[in-house]
Chains A and B, each alone.
Chain A
Amino acid sequence: MNLTPEPLVYGLSSPGRVGVVLPESDVPVAPVPAWLERDSLPLPELDELTTVRHFTRLSQKNFSIDTNFYPLGSCTMKYNPKANEAAAAHPSWRNLHPYAGESMSQGALELVFRLQEILAEIGGFKAVSLQPAAGAHGELAGVFMIRKYHLERGDTRRVKILIPDSAHGTNPASCTMAGLEAVTIPSNAEGGVDLEALKAALGPELAGIMITNPNTLGLFERNIEEICRLVHESGGLVYGDGANMNAVTGVFRPGDAGIDVMHFNLHKTFSTPHGGGGPGVGMVAANATLAEFLPGPLVVKKGDVFALETPPKSIGRMKAFYGNFAVLVRAYAYVRMLGAEGLRRLAENAVLNANYLKVLVEKRWKVKYGRRCMHEFVASGDIAEGVHTLDVAKRLIDYGFHPPTIYFPLIVPEAVMIEPTETESKETLDAFAAVLDRIADEARDNPALLHDAPTTTPIGRLDEVAAARCPVLCYRA
């Protein structure tokens, strides 16, 4: 990593310097109304080479999956094959205009149609909308669909959505955004949904449940069919949060277990870029009960022709145009490269890698829910007196690893959530476990090393409290 502090681009500015000299205008200059004119525009003034060097140096400070191991739990930071990029960069896709019209976009529509079909098959659902742009966006679409289903039937009392206490914070947020009320359901001693608490929460006000399987503890919810049955008997619907689909692709079809509507994150399981804004795709899939409520438009096949169509009772659009199309090309390339057999193997290897790493890590570190995990596991970072998870996370940076997700899920004190993904080699997993071992020694023998970390980065430990209480959000000269 390039450790030299990089000045702000304004610090490199020199008055009057330009990178590109524009030719004289050869058309009459249109007058600008006086009220639109401004005296100054405080932009930096730089030549091309200075600009290129500035941004290249900044890019060298990046930490990414292409440079280092990134075991960020629940985020599935797997390697994104470069073949995906080659496919998405093909001029046939790249130069297609969103207003080109259906007759001139048949290839693109066919790709979307095929991807819809493949993802529906993977999930065990009837239909898929590729519109939503992120996981939480897909959740919101799904909760809107559940809400509209009840309202269409005149069942206006159903306002409550049950959410296990291990869920992602986006679940209750999506309920609130959709005007419904989130009700927390506690976990049992094994880390699954407490069935007695679930039964007590059922009733005529129940709109549905949002469930993540495997859950955020990296544990498969063994009672999933029973949970779906109980909720359905009570008149509610089941939303599946597909954030952790990487553990079960090609092995477990959520639709078969009774889940009515579900999102998958193409930017997690299906290897499209993740982090730094993606952009993502939180596609939403539905069974026969809810398919007609999917956000539109979907691509349908009429004879040999592909067309855009919005389902009859659709909740409407979730996004302009047709979702993040270039991301769909990458996901399509990925599923076609792997095939059905490969998709199953990716899940098997994700689970194998996580369990291998878990066995190494739990020799020294506490793992509260210790049974065999799926794609990730949750340890606790309070390895020694006065040492907290935050210190361990910062120390990992010094050893060249991205910290795992920390302080989540909330039901594990000092949580460290580790997801290696299937794309890492045994050597990388061994190296990471060896470093955690070394950090455990340091915590015992020389905790200052942890408290002062990171020391090998351009900027050291930040004051997170001050950053949250008194954030400075604008550049100040």
Chain B
Amino acid sequence: MKLDTNARYRKSHEWVRKDGAQYVVGISDHAQESLGDIVFVELPAVGKAFKQGDAFAVVESVKAASDVYLPMSGTILAVNDALEGAPDLINREPYAGGWLVKFEASNPAEWDGLLDASAYEAEASKE
């Protein structure tokens, strides 16, 4: 499985990365691989606030529709509009063009509680 070593992860297969003062979120390579071809993405409204672990988006593949959970509490600053026309960006570039949302963290300390790449790899390969 491909990993982004600059990102932190949740057991539920989301990654989060610092992007200047903001944070950016997506789903891991392992997650997109398990889901298969993604056909639809439902993203939240900009300005909406979520607590850590809240479902903020839905990713639908030919196999299943899955909730995506925000790894840290925060307010949505931007969503990836490109996914509407090209949801397969998540399959092709899970850590780059396939990002889901950018958010402002309301509790940046939550970052420290997330898994680093190697800890996530160990969790994901248990499945």
* CB neighbors of B among A229-264 (8 A): none
Query: Is B64 located at the chain interface by the 8 A CB criterion?
Result: yes
Q: Answer whether residue A18 sits at the interface, using C-beta atoms and an 8 A cutoff.
A: no
- Pick the contact of B62 from A408, A410, A413, A468 — CB < 8 Å? A468
A459 within 8 A of B: no
Tell me if A465 and B127 are in contact (CB < 8 A).
Answer: no
Q: Separation in Å of the B101 CB from the closest CB of chain A? A: 21
CA–CA, A413 to B34, complex, Å? 8
* Closest-CB distance, B62 to chain A (whole angstroms): 5
Beyond A413-B34, A413-B127, whether A465 also contacts B64 by CB under 8 A is no
Question: CA of A40 to CA of B65 in the docked complex: distance in angstroms?
Answer: 42
- Which residues of chain A are near B62, meaning CB under 8 Å? 464-465, 468
> Which residues of chain A come closer than 8 Å to B66, judged between CB atoms?
410
- CB of A63 within 8 A of chain B? no
Q: Tell me if A465 and B39 are in contact (CB < 8 A).
A: yes
A469:B39 contact, CB within 8 angstroms: yes
Count of CB-CB pairs between chains A and B under 8 Å:
22
Residues on the B chain within 8 Å of A93, using CB = none
* Contact status of A407 and B63, CB under 8 A, knowing A413-B34, A413-B127, A469-B87: yes
Q: Mark A410-434, 1 if CB is under 8 A from B, else 0.
A: 1001000000000000000000000
For B63, the chain A residues whose CB sits under 8 A away are: 407
Number of interface residues, chain B, beta carbon within 8 A: 13
Cβ-neighbour of B64 out of A407, A464, A469 (below 8 A): A407
Shortest CB-to-CB span from A451 to chain B, Å, is: 15
Instruction: Bits for A446-477, please: 1 = Cβ < 8 Å to B, else 0.
Output: 00000000000000000011001100000000
**Interchain CA distance A407-B61 in the complex, whole Å:** 11
Assess A468 versus B39: contact at CB under 8 Å? Given A413-B34, A413-B127.
yes
Q: How far is the CA of A469 from the CA of B36 in the complex (A)?
A: 14
Tell me how far the C-beta of A388 lies from the nearest C-beta in chain B, rounded to whole angstroms. Answer: 8
Bound-state CA distance A410–B61 (Å) is 12
Please determine whether B64 and A468 come into contact, CB atoms closer than 8 angstroms. no
Q: Does B40 contact A (CB under 8 A)?
A: yes
Q: In the complex, how many angstroms separate the beta carbon of A16 from the nearest chain B beta carbon?
A: 44
- The verdict on B37 contacting chain A, using a C-beta distance below 8 Å, is yes
Report the minimum CB–CB distance from B35 to chain A (whole Å).
Answer: 10
B67 to chain A: closest CB distance in Å?
9
Contacts of A407 in B (CB 8 A): 63-64
A199 CB → nearest B CB, Å? 19
Q: Which residues of B contact A410 (CB under 8 A)?
A: 64, 66
* Distance of A464 Cα from B66 Cα, bound (Å): 18
Q: Which of B69-124 contact A (CB under 8 A)?
A: 87-88
| Pairs across A and B, CB under 8 Å, 22 listed | A169-B65, A407-B63, A407-B64, A408-B64, A410-B64, A410-B66, A413-B34, A413-B127, A464-B37, A464-B62, A465-B37, A465-B39, A465-B62, A465-B88, A468-B37, A468-B39, A468-B40, A468-B60, A468-B62, A469-B39, A469-B40, A469-B87
New A-B contacts (4) at CB < 8 Å, excluding given A408-B64, A413-B127, A468-B60: A407-B64, A464-B62, A465-B39, A469-B87
A residues contacting B by CB (< 8 A) are 169, 407-408, 410, 413, 464-465, 468-469
Lowest 10 CB-CB distances: which A-B pairs, in order? A468-B39, A407-B63, A465-B37, A464-B62, A469-B39, A410-B64, A468-B62, A465-B62, A465-B39, A407-B64
